[in-house]
Structure 1
Amino acid sequence: MKSVLITGANKGIGLETAKQLSKNGLFVYLGSRSIEKGNAIVKELQEAGYRNIKVISIDVTKPDTILSARNIIEEERGHLDILINNAGVSGIVPQTAVGTDVNDFKDVFDVNFYGVVRVTQTFMDLLQKSAEPRIVNVSTSVGSLSLQSNPDWPAYDFAKFAAYASSKAAMNMYTVHLAYELRDSNFKINAVCPGYTKTDFTGYNGGEVDTAGNRITKYALIDQNGPTGKFFSEESNPETGEIPW
């Protein structure tokens, strides 16, 4: 049975992805900063018929919790097949390049960028023990430099969140470098935008959460013929899914 760790998975898109991967027969480590909240969610899932889901305490801003989660997974599974870097924050709003304090930028980067680096590097040795390791970095079309600079992009005039967009653009670049460095291995590493989705992150505006979860699950489960080092937003490009960096 393959195993997956999803950070920030006690609610929203992360939780929906956990449900879908459980249904696909994976053992799911549901990452949550609060073990109490995570346990409550797992109890609800088990009562709803979901199996092979376990909460694991992890805060992507705290290296000791990341290492502890890694050690638990190593002891229980010996390796990790899939890592989904889902935990993220939007930061304060409004968010402007001129007016947003540098400390607000730091807070967003600490989760959305440095958090991804911390978790990925800590779990790399367990992923390398998998026959077909996968990493999905949950991104957003808002982090595309090409789209943000294109006046014809439908979201051009309102998707301007200087700290959040910058942090995701940095994560996208990390994805490119990670995929390049591991290009001669069995790793498949991609950045995936789940789309504008009805969660507390968006004030419950947007598309359905199951659609967003499907988009992430798809790239978590790709075979060895699948892509790596790409940026996908099926909401932005329904034909091929791939969008410019």
Structure 2
Amino acid sequence: MTETKIALVTGANKGIGYEIAAGLGALGWSVGVGARDQVRREEAVTRLRAAGVDAFGVALDVADDRSVAEAAEFIAGRTGRLDALVNNAGITGGGPQQPSSVDPQIIRTVVETNVIGVIRVTNAMLPLLRHSASPRIVNMSSSVGSLTRQSGPGGETTTGPVAVAYAPSKTFLNAVTLQYAQELADTNILINLACPGFVATDLNGFRGVRTAAEGAATAIRLATLPDGGPTGGFFEDAGVVPW
């Protein structure tokens, strides 16, 4: 009998995170729905279970040390291991985010969730991932974190929305992920970045052109990579995203 695989998805009560949980669940995985808000977390678990997913709630605030530690203890007691961790939780920080006028506190808040939060959760869950035969970590990034895509072929700056907190936080996350890939190179843990594309979620006021399910596809693929798959990469539906 094949052992059921177990995943934790942060920020899984809505949007892309919910669809990642739903997609893994459809593949037969047991999925932990990580979310801060108890009501929204329970509602998401109820919806997933109604769709046939083996879902369970995990109280989790990625910006809080104690919350993350307690989440790791809960999963350890419930399942004893993790086969995949998807660090999906993230914030934009709101606006305005012009470099010359931004409130530095906005940057601190965004980095705390989008970067330090990923480090905090990953480090807490690594002992559980090491108990898996094929552990995978997926960090949700964005094309706005690509320095190549933020600049033109000759190095000129491209036009587009300025987001000095959000966009660089994803560049920072990309760099951090590469550091993990180097440290974990001699293990069986594969860690990669997923770009969901411009998805219509409340993060962008539903201005995106892709559905949350479409945005979840790359993360699901990376969470279920076969042994010997890539690590330390940045991917989207069309392939590799340039750094």
Q: Name the TM-score, length of structure 1 as normaliser.
A: 0.93
| Separation in structure 1 between the aligned mates of residue 154 and residue 142 of structure 2, nearest angstrom | 18
Cα shift at 1:215: 1.5
Q: 2:186 aligned to 184, 187, 190, which one?
A: 184
| Structure 2 equivalent of residue 109 of structure 1 | 111
| Structure 1 equivalent of residue 16 of structure 2 | 13
Q: Which runs of 5+ in 2 are unaligned?
A: none
Contact 2:48 2:54 in 1 (8 A): no
Contact 1:19 1:50 in 2 (8 A): no
Deviation string 1:167-225 (CA, Å, 9 cap, x unpaired) is 11111111001011111111110011111001111211221121111111011101013
Cα shift at 1:40: 1.6
| Separation in structure 1 between the aligned mates of residue 44 and residue 183 of structure 2, nearest angstrom | 37
Q: 1:38 aligned to 32, 41, 45, which one?
A: 41
Q: Which amino acid in 2 is paired with 1:128?
A: R
Q: 1:118 aligned to 120, 128, 151, which one?
A: 120
| Structure 1 equivalent of residue 27 of structure 2 | 24
Q: Which amino acid in 2 is paired with 1:39?
A: E
Report the CA distance shift for 1:138/1:78 in structure 2 as closer, same or farther (over 3 A): same
| Structure 1 equivalent of residue 76 of structure 2 | 74
Contact 1:35 1:56 in 2 (8 A): no
Report the CA distance shift for 1:169/1:123 in structure 2 as closer, same or farther (over 3 A): same
More off after superposition, 103-112 vs 91-100: 91-100
Q: Secondary structure at the match of 2:165?
A: helix
How do residues 58-207 of structure 1 correspond to structure 2 at under 5 angstroms?
58-150=60-152, 156-205=158-207, 206-207=209-210
Q: Which runs of 5+ in 1 are unaligned?
A: none
Q: Name the TM-score, length of structure 2 as normaliser.
A: 0.94
Contact 1:22 1:51 in 2 (8 A): yes
| Structure 1 equivalent of residue 217 of structure 2 | 214
| Separation in structure 2 between the aligned mates of residue 12 and residue 151 of structure 1, nearest angstrom | 33
| Separation in structure 1 between the aligned mates of residue 113 and residue 234 of structure 2, nearest angstrom | 20
| Separation in structure 1 between the aligned mates of residue 67 and residue 93 of structure 2, nearest angstrom | 22
What's the RMSD between the two structures over aligned residues? 1.6
| Separation in structure 2 between the aligned mates of residue 89 and residue 151 of structure 1, nearest angstrom | 29
Contact 1:142 1:159 in 2 (8 A): no
